[in-house]
Amino acid sequence: MISLTQHILAGQRRHPEATGDFSAVMTQIAFAAKKISRDLRQAGLLDILGSTGETNVQGEEVQKLDQQANDTFVQVFEQSPLVRTVVSEEMEEPYLIARAVETGKYVLFFDPLDGSSNIDVNAPLGTIFSMHRLTRSSDKFSVEDVLHPGSVQLAAGYVLYGSSTVLMYTCGNGTHQFTLDPTIGEFFLSATDMQIPQRGKIYSVNEGNYEKWSQPMQSCLDYFQSVDAASGRPYSLRYTGCLVADVHRVLLKGGLYMYPGEVEKPDGKLRLMYESAPLTFLIEQAGGLGSTGFERISSIQPTSPHQRVPLVIGSREDVEFVEQTLKEGSMAFLK
Ligand code: FBP
């Protein structure tokens, strides 16, 4: 069995210029994930369910476990001389790591606990992370130093806290899956160079928002729901309320996850830097696509750390179908 650390070190050996810093950061991400996994497994026994009563930068009620997961990541990286800045869904401003002022060369974006509405109902949860090289425009920190398109991510991944804890990551050399063995507290390689089917049979979307969508977006859903055996339709609906769990299913089985823009809210709900861009890097390394419906997620030049974008992600043919339909604004071939 190959451990995550061994896999990362093997990747490092393929880069003679590598310093080991990247591996060290990946090991710290895995350490934070193990702590969060432990906390979630004990959640019902400890007083860590429910809300903190606070509201975060997204205007969402902060759950105690959201805060605890965020604190876990910050505590782990406050010990690191390598990560200069962390940007979290739960923190309004980028957080500067004091001990990495001179030595820090990376930026870490993360959604510490994805699927917050699932916390109190023991349904799947996730963590999403994205690593960028820090550019320094001057000695003084500026937010522009952390705003880079998805195409230049160094690494990205997610952790799925489900029946088992699974960590998925890419550093531009394929998408690889590791499963946590809680008896020894180590992640082991359970699938490598994953490839998503070119077309699927599943769609994942909050249909409750149908009336809020544009007509072309509505007709996309109508297409996936209409009966046509030749093209494997209707697709089946699977929606867990946890982006990581739904994208994990799509990566393994094919199909697509969508959180579209709405007529009144064209940017949708999901955040570019720590949700859409890292998941797109993973899916595209596995042969799929990530799009807003109009442009590829990885090509977007970010303008703020918490900006939102619509997301259509998954099997290449299914995402291209949605892009074509939205761009053409019509559904000529809808029976
Ligand atoms: P959080 O990171 O705040 O949990 O938000 C993202 C998310 O919960 C996704 O995991 C999920 O797919 C989506 O929002 C659910 O949103 P909705 O309840 O509007 O369908």
Q: How many angstroms separate the Cα of 172 from the Cα of each of 154, 212, 243, 286?
A: 7, 36, 22, 10
The pLDDT assigned to 335 comes to 43
Indicate if ligand 1 lies below 6 Å from the C-beta of 117: yes
CA 164/CA 313 separation, integer angstroms: 24
pTM to 2 decimals? 0.96
Q: Is 206 a pocket residue for ligand 1 (Cβ < 6 Å)?
A: yes
Q: Which residue has the tokens 């990205």?
A: 156
Q: What is the distance between the alpha carbons of residues 296 and 312, in angstroms, rounded to a whole number?
A: 9
Residues whose CB is less than 8 angstroms from the CB of residue 77 and which lie 6 or more positions away in sequence, other chains included? 28, 32, 83, 86, 97, 108
Give dist(CA 19, CA 23) in Å, integer: 9
For position 20, what pLDDT does the model report? Answer: 80
Rg of the chain over CA atoms, in angstroms? 20
For residue 258, how far is its CA from the centre of ligand 1 (angstroms)?
11
Q: In angstroms, how far apart are the furthest CA atoms of the chain?
A: 62
In what helix (H) or strand (E) does residue 324 lie, and over which residues does it extend?
A: helix 316-328
Q: Is the CB of 255 under 6 A from ligand 1?
A: no
**Per-residue pLDDT tens over the stretch 109-123:** 999 999 989 988 999
Question: Which residues pair with residue 169 across a beta bridge?
Answer: 157, 176
Alpha helices in the chain (DSSP H): 4-13, 21-42, 64-78, 215-225, 243-253, 277-285, 316-328
Burial of 218 (0-12, 13-18, 19+ CB in 10 A): middle
* Residue nearest ligand 1's atom 7 by CA: 115
* Cα gap 77→30, rounded to integer Å: 12
Give the distance (Å) from ligand 1 centre to CA of residue 6: 33
Ligand 1 near 90 CB (within 6 A):
no
Q: Which residue lies with its CA nearest to atom 13 of ligand 1? A: 241
How do beta strands 256-259 and 202-204 pair? parallel
Residue of 117, 246, 270, 274 best suited for mutating to test ligand 1, as the one with most atoms within 8 Å of CB: 117
The pLDDT value recorded for residue 21 is 87
Query: pLDDT value at position 47?
Result: 77
Tens of each residue's pLDDT in the chain, 335 residues: 999 999 988 887 777 777 788 889 999 999 999 999 999 998 878 777 888 888 877 788 888 999 999 999 999 999 899 999 999 999 999 999 999 988 899 999 999 999 989 988 999 999 999 999 988 767 778 899 999 999 999 999 999 999 999 999 999 999 999 999 999 999 999 999 999 999 999 999 999 999 999 999 999 999 999 999 999 999 999 999 999 999 999 999 999 999 999 999 999 999 999 999 999 999 999 999 999 999 999 999 999 999 999 999 999 999 999 999 999 875 554 44
- Residue 92 contacts residue 240 (beta carbons within 8 Å): no
Q: What is the pLDDT of residue 63?
A: 85
d(CA 291, CA 324) in angstroms, rounded, equals 11
Cβ neighbours around 73 below 10 Å, total: 28
H or E segment at 156? strand 155-161
